[in-house]
């Protein structure tokens, strides 16, 4: 048979589910900021959520050494045994619950645990409860995989903690999964032991899984981190997500993990075999060093983020139309900008294009993010002060 000549580009026949796939706007804003920089504009980058520090040198050395020693091959899909063991030990110690290596699945970054949890558990029409504003990938993945997205509105008056009464009212017979995130992106809110206990009580003895996103667990400035996995009866109903990206400034290494009941871990491992085969072997050897080696860099980073948070929040509160609570964890501040009279997206765009400050609209984190902006304080104090001065100047000229 002769192949017909193709003169026009053929229509791209995408699967219909692609129309339901969301995105993470931080990467879109970063691309636009880079474009402006190419045109010669100076931009202060407060959009992307990654530590500005280098990966601790002991971790880098461990990876280099691993490369020289030949850790350059495929490894087991669930992760190298020595890393699964180090993670099990770390999680057992920090969450005060006994975790075995078979309950750990190592993946390339924290994100795949979100994707895999929903893939593994949620059938078409199953309901998934999640925070809004919240990390945009939750909503994107729920919609993409045909689940019914059931948002819980996190309110500023509650210090952005989850309203347990609202959660209780949203649970139905179709609820399959509840996603919680503490410390929280984008608000910096945290769930206290009391909050987490009340959430557990609201779930009661229902057979509902909880995806507990604890990727910022080591970046906490008030109180202590408390995981729902620590509560009696919840170990088997929790998928704990944590990783190396934020704690050890390893965003580009792509390494995270999930901790879950062993039978579910087997299914997640099969998803790994089907998608990635395994996480890079030499990075996993470095991961063992990250968890077991000197931890002083984590404290140093955390103290520095606290100092910047303090200064940035004070500065923002001096700007016309901005009012900002002191976030308790992570490295984001989430000011209320309703008194500027501007919609969040329009304001974020203007700050980038006209004030040279890249930040994110609260709506990048869901519809309930309207009225807020998110700034990452993972930048130097000098740059943060520069951003404040530029926003102040812009506000003086543009806000009445």
Binding site for ligand PLP (CB under 6 A): 49, 109-111, 135, 181, 185, 213, 215, 243, 245, 251, 256
Least distance from ligand PLP to the Cβ atom of residue 107, Å: 9
Least distance from ligand PLP to the Cβ atom of residue 125, Å: 25
User: Quick check: bond before 183 cis, omega within 30?
Assistant: yes
Q: DSSP string of 157-213?
A: GGTT---HHHHHHH--TTEEEEEEESSPTTT-----HHHHHHHHHHHTT---EEEEE
Nearest residue (beta carbon) to ligand PLP = 109
**133/356 with CB nearer ligand PLP:** 133
Least distance from ligand PLP to the Cβ atom of residue 22, Å: 14
- What residues contact residue 377 under an 8 Å CB cut-off, 6+ apart? 46, 305, 308, 309, 312, 331, 332, 333, 384
**280/388 with CB nearer ligand PLP:** 280
**140/251 with CB nearer ligand PLP:** 251
Q: 290 and 56 in contact (C-beta within 8 Å)?
A: yes
**49/327 with CB nearer ligand PLP:** 49
Q: Is 27 helix (H, G, I), strand (E, B) or coil?
A: helix
Q: Cα separations (Å) of 71 from 60, 123, 272?
A: 14, 38, 19
CA distance 268 to 119: 9
Nearest to 234 by CA among 210, 257, 216: 210
**66/360 with CB nearer ligand PLP:** 360
Locate 224 and state its tokens.
Answer: 């202590």
**361/390 with CB nearer ligand PLP:** 361
Least distance from ligand PLP to the Cβ atom of residue 247, Å: 10
Least distance from ligand PLP to the Cβ atom of residue 205, Å: 28
Least distance from ligand PLP to the Cβ atom of residue 139, Å: 12
Please count the other Cβ atoms lying within 10 Å of the Cβ belonging to residue 12.
6
**111/328 with CB nearer ligand PLP:** 111
Least distance from ligand PLP to the Cβ atom of residue 25, Å: 12
CA distance 377 to 395: 20
Please compute Rg for the chain using Cα positions.
22
Locate 137 and state its tokens.
Answer: 């990938």
Least distance from ligand PLP to the Cβ atom of residue 29, Å: 14
Q: Is 62 helix (H, G, I), strand (E, B) or coil?
A: helix
**319/330 with CB nearer ligand PLP:** 330
Q: 239 and 228 in contact (C-beta within 8 Å)?
A: no
Q: 296 and 276 in contact (C-beta within 8 Å)?
A: no
Nearest to 213 by CA among 100, 336, 325, 118: 118
């Amino acid at each position: 048979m002769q192949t017909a000549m193709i003169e026009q580009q053929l229509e791209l026949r995408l699967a219909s589910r692609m129309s339901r796939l969301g995105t993470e706007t931080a990467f879109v804003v970063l691309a636009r900021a880079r474009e402006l920089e190419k045109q010669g504009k100076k931009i202060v980058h407060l959009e992307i959520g990654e530590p500005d520090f280098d990966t601790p040198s002991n971790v880098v050395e461990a990876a280099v050494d691993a490369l020289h020693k030949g850790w350059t091959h495929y490894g087991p899909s669930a992760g190298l045994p020595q890393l699964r063991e180090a993670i099990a030990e770390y999680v057992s110690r920090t969450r005060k619950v006994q975790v075995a290596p078979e309950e750990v699945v190592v993946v390339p970054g924290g994100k795949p645990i979100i994707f895999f949890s929903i893939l593994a558990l949620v059938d078409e029409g199953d309901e998934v409860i999640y925070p809004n504003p919240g990390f945009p990938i939750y909503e994107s993945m729920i919609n993409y995989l045909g689940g019914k997205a059931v948002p819980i509105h996190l309110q500023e008056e509650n210090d952005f903690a989850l309203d347990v009464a609202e959660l209780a009212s949203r649970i139905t017979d179709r609820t399959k999964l509840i996603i919680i995130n503490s410390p929280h992106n984008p608000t910096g809110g945290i769930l206290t032991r009391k909050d987490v206990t009340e959430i557990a009580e609201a779930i009661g003895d229902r057979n509902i899984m909880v995806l507990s996103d604890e990727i910022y667990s080591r970046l906490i400035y008030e109180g202590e981190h408390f995981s729902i996995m620590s509560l009696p009866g919840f170990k088997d109903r929790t998928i704990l997500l944590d990783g190396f990206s934020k704690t050890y400034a390893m965003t580009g290494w792509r390494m995270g993990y999930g901790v879950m009941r062993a039978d579910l871990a087997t299914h997640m491992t099969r998803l790994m075999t089907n998608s990635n085969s395994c996480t890079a072997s030499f990075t996993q050897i470095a991961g063992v060093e990250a968890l077991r080696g000197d931890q002083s860099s984590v404290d140093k980073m955390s103290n520095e983020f606290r100092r910047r948070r303090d200064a940035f929040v004070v500065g923002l509160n001096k700007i016309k139309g901005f009012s900002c609570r002191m976030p308790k964890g992570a490295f984001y501040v989430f000011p209320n900008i309703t008194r500027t009279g501007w919609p969040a997206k329009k304001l974020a765009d203007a700050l980038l294009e006209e004030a040279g400050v890249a930040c994110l609209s609260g709506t990048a984190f869901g519809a309930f993010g309207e009225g807020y902006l998110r700034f990452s304080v993972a930048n130097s104090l000098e740059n943060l002060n520069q951003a404040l001065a530029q926003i102040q100047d812009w506000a003086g000229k543009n806000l009445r």
